[in-house]
A = this chain, B = another copy of it.
Amino acid sequence: MKHIFIIGVGLIGGSFALDIKKLYPESTIFGIDTNASHLDEAITLGVIDHKATFEDLDKADLAILAIPVDASLEILPKVLDHISDTTIVFDAGSTKEDICAAVKNHPKRRNYLAVHPIAGTEHSGPKAAIHNLYKNKTNIICEVEETAFKLQEKALKLFSELGMRIRYMNPKAHDKHIAYVSHLSHISAFMLGKTVIEKEKNERDIFDMAGSGFESTVRLAKSSPAMWTPIFKQNKTNVIETLDEYINNLKHFKKLMEDEDFDAVYKEMETTNHIKDILNGIQ
């Protein structure tokens, strides 16, 4: 792997770049981004070696697409148009159904692997890129059988070197389940932040009372709207389903409190404490 192209040099693409450069010191990392200042920043920070254009993609051994999921629908076909027969391309988007559909009939479909690394932080941009972001993280691969065997192998070798564990799913199941364990968490955090900020308008000093519990629960409300809006748009049906269930659970909890049924309130929490074992299981 000599020529690596990172399309979108932010947290996700930049973190791939840093680890790949460490694994393959002789490789050259090229960056493509619509944001010129991000490209300059990525060079200054040593995240990429050179700027590049789509025309340069014919020399790519590997191209990683790490841009908002709406842009991916347009850019992935364009990337496939420019690469050689031996290039492997993967994306890192949080939705998989639309992107798999977008390239279903592309002549270079077999050069593409649909990937979702379950990794990230609430920060964004090239300066958010870090080493080892992907270590011990789950990497979901969809429609693996649509990718050429030799190119699958190339990508899987890299994921293994990065320390990731692989799970195979179909795009429909991926989008449904990820709505629960990822997309809903973000809305829950954003709306918690909103509820408290709205209060603060009138009542000063309220944040002086906030501790680490609030901070942890609201952390994802720092996330990038430019990244998350297209995810919610693409995964609209599933996300609305999770929101319906979440709102119903909150209403039920409120009703128990209004009815002063605190035995039931206790049981709601006791049952959910089971999350401890589940979270231990995923660590």
Residues of A within 8 A of B (CB): 118-122, 137-138, 140, 167, 174, 177-178, 180-182, 184-200, 203, 205-223, 225-226, 228-230, 232-233, 236, 239-240, 242-247, 249-251, 253-254, 257-258, 260, 262, 265-276, 278-279, 281-282
Contact = CB atoms under 8 A, between A and B. Distances in A.
B190 A177 contact: no
Nearest to A244: B254
B192 A184 contact: yes
Given A194-B249, A240-B258, A257-B232, A211 B278 contact: no
A257 B239 contact: yes
A51 to B, nearest CB: 28
Given A180-B199, A218-B275, A221-B272, 18 more contacts: A120-B213, A137-B211, A184-B192, A187-B250, A187-B253, A191-B250, A194-B249, A194-B268, A194-B272, A197-B275, A208-B282, A215-B279, A215-B282, A216-B220, A218-B279, A232-B265, A239-B257, A240-B257
Given A211-B137, A257-B236, A268 B217 contact: no
Contacts of A189: 217
Nearest to A271: B194
Contact of A272 (B190, B205, B207): B190
A72 B166 CA distance: 50
A243 B253 contact: yes
Given A247-B250, A253-B187, A253-B191, A273 B221 contact: yes
A93 to B, nearest CB: 14
Given A180-B195, A246-B250, A269 B223 contact: yes
Contacts of A181: 196, 206-207, 209-211, 214
Contacts of A188: 188, 192, 217, 250
A242 B275 contact: no
A253 B186 CA distance: 12
